[in-house]
Amino acid sequence: MKRICITLLLVAAGLGAGCADQALREQLDQAAAAYQQVSSDAELVRGAPRDVARAGETLERAQRFSHYIGGAQDARHYAYLSLSYSEIARQHGALLANQQQAVRLEMDRERLRRMLQDARLLNLQQGQWMEDQMISLAATETDRGLVMTLGDVLFRAGSDRLGPEANRTLLKLAHFLQLNPQRRVRIEGYTDSRGQAEENLQLSRARARAVASVLLDLGIAAGRLEVRGYGEQFPIAENASARGRAQNRRVEILFSDAKGQLAPDR
């Protein structure tokens, strides 16, 4: 009877050790996968080199202790540390990327503000002459009213971020709106038909909002701006060719009449 009890205890202990070994292997695999992810991201390695290095060092220790008899507890400890360092590295990398993006946006906005101040000093605000110049340079008359078109080239490819080439065009638009405070605009985003319709709709809205954001930074009141996204609807060219698709990827600025009345939504 005693032998049977001892045998059962040994079997139970073996099963418990097997479960513990399995849990440790899973923890080590999780730590290794996390380290592989952060260490293969070049930007993250540059942004948080110490945390990535610590994740690798503690992972190595965890793996080494896992091979020692009685080292399971130390292995679990270092595996946990490695996972923690990998997560800290990811967080530092995301924070750094956000900070860099904020700096770039602020630099773009400050450049636009300086350009606007310079234009004011040069006394370019010449009433009706300025309005005529705006119309002749960038806008066309349509059945919906006066429309200015911003092509896809003014945005980063597949992104809602405006490139520096857009600064001059949006500065002129801001001048026009400041000289004509009764005018309002509807900013409409469009895409080509490639990709998912919902993603195209979201991109078109984001691009229209990006244009509105710049105008707000240049002092145009929010109440004078409307934002719409139409995605792949209302193409102006065939989507079968690259040239046609490029024409369809656009943002249109629809101007109100002199009394501030905009054409109905599409």
Residues 103-132, mean pLDDT to the nearest whole number: 62
Evaluate if residue 185 carries a pLDDT over 80.
yes
The residue to which tokens 């080509």 are assigned: 192
HSE-CB of 168 using CA atoms within 13 angstroms? 3
Residues 205/189, Cβ–Cβ less than 8 Å? yes
What 3-state DSSP class applies to 144? coil
pLDDT-derived band of residue 131, with 50, 70 and 90 as boundaries?
Answer: low
The pLDDT of residue 226 is 97
The pLDDT of residue 206 is 94
Residues 178/125, Cβ–Cβ less than 8 Å? yes
Task: Lowest mean pLDDT of 4-8, 48-52, 134-138, 173-177, name the range.
Answer: 4-8
Residues 92-107, mean pLDDT to the nearest whole number: 77
What are the pLDDT digits (tens) for 227-249?
Answer: 999 999 999 999 999 899 989 99
Q: Where are the domains of the chain?
A: 2-98, 124-255
pLDDT-derived band of residue 107, with 50, 70 and 90 as boundaries?
Answer: confident
Task: Lowest mean pLDDT of 130-144, 162-176, 240-254, name the range.
Answer: 130-144
Higher per-residue pLDDT: 64 or 137: 64
What are the pLDDT digits (tens) for 69-85?
Answer: 888 888 898 889 898 88
Give the Cα separation of 20 and 111 in Å (integer): 61
Q: What is the pTM of this model?
A: 0.54
CATH class of 124-255: alpha beta
Evaluate if residue 161 carries a pLDDT over 60.
yes
Give the Cα separation of 154 and 105 in Å (integer): 15
The pLDDT of residue 17 is 46
Q: Is 177 left (phi over 0), alpha (psi -120 to 50) or beta?
A: alpha
Residues of the chain above pLDDT 70, percent: 83
Residues 211/149, Cβ–Cβ less than 8 Å? no
Say what the alpha-carbon torsion angle 19, 25, 30, 35 is, to the nearest 10 degrees. 160
The pLDDT of residue 156 is 74
Evaluate if residue 189 carries a pLDDT over 80.
yes
